[in-house]
Amino acid sequence: MPTWNYITAHVYGKVRITREDPELQRIVVALAEKFEAGAATPWTLAASGPDTATRVRGVVGFELHADSVQIKPKLSQNQPVVNVEGTIAGLRGTASEESAAVAALMQKELERRGP
């Protein structure tokens, strides 16, 4: 039976919505620079077709000023140690960076739990 491990964040604060084209383009460019940086051929707004600029106008951008962030982990803390260790091993056995990150967090939680 698989286990579902996750960490959720509840973020509270003030949101500013924008639909202004220049600002939306700035947001899209910044996000692409960040998340496309490791790609063999990174996507850029400038190199995309003219219809992409039209699509950007359909995006609703936002800026969030967080007043409070609450983190809630669910990392098999209610499971016996042997189950947690098996889950950690299974996650580490994949090629996924995300799985390895969850395994590392689970390992920390297991070490905090103690013997």
Cα radius of gyration rounded to whole Å, the chain: 20
Q: Whole-prediction pTM value? A: 0.57
Distances (CA, A) of 106 to 1, 80, 115: 18, 13, 15
Closest CA to 77 of 2, 9, 5, 1: 5
pLDDT band of residue 31 (cuts 50, 70, 90) is: very high
Helix (H, G, I), strand (E, B) or coil at 65: strand
Cross-strand pairs, 65: 14
Q: What pLDDT digit, counting tens, does each position of 49-60 carry?
A: 888 878 888 889
Give 77's contacts (C-beta < 8 A, 6+ positions apart): 109, 113
* Amino acid residing at 61: G
Q: pLDDT per residue over 66-79, tens digit each?
A: 999 999 989 988 89
Give the residue among 100, 110, 115 at the shortest CA–CA distance from 76: 110
Q: Among all chains, which residue has been given the structure tokens 């039209």? A: 54
